[in-house]
Amino acid sequence: MERMRQFFDLSTPAKRFRFVAVLEAITWAALLVAMFFKWVLGHDGAVQIPGMTHGIVFMVFVVISLLTAFSLRWSVKVTGLALFSSIPPFGTLVFEWWARRHGHLAELSVSESTSNAAAAA
């Protein structure tokens, strides 16, 4: 329950980025399922809501990525990787994991390092 509460904590740029990155991946999954229903099962209207939802979350992800990049002083390379990660399905999750492990997500990276050190001890 505590991890769920932490996930919905949007008090910092890194936490907001994580939340939107996960949300973007979830909407990608919904869109992929909807595309199956449209193209394989012939339900033409299946992609309307998931497609619009994913489009909105995609735009929010781009804005949050740029705001996070500015706030956490990401390099152009890291910012570009964040933006590119929104194109392939689930890429935002891969980028979030990578950014956390490489120290690009402020306190989320610190807590990752701390928990890894504690587990190793």
The percent of residues in the chain predicted with pLDDT above 90, rounded, is: 74
Which pLDDT belongs to residue 118?
46
> CA 22 from chain center: how many Å?
4
Q: How confident is the model at residue 110 (pLDDT cuts 50, 70, 90)?
A: confident
Instruction: Give the mean model confidence (pLDDT) for residues 18-33.
Output: 96
Cα–Cα distance, 110 to 100 (Å, whole number): 8
Cα–Cα distance, 55 to 66 (Å, whole number): 17
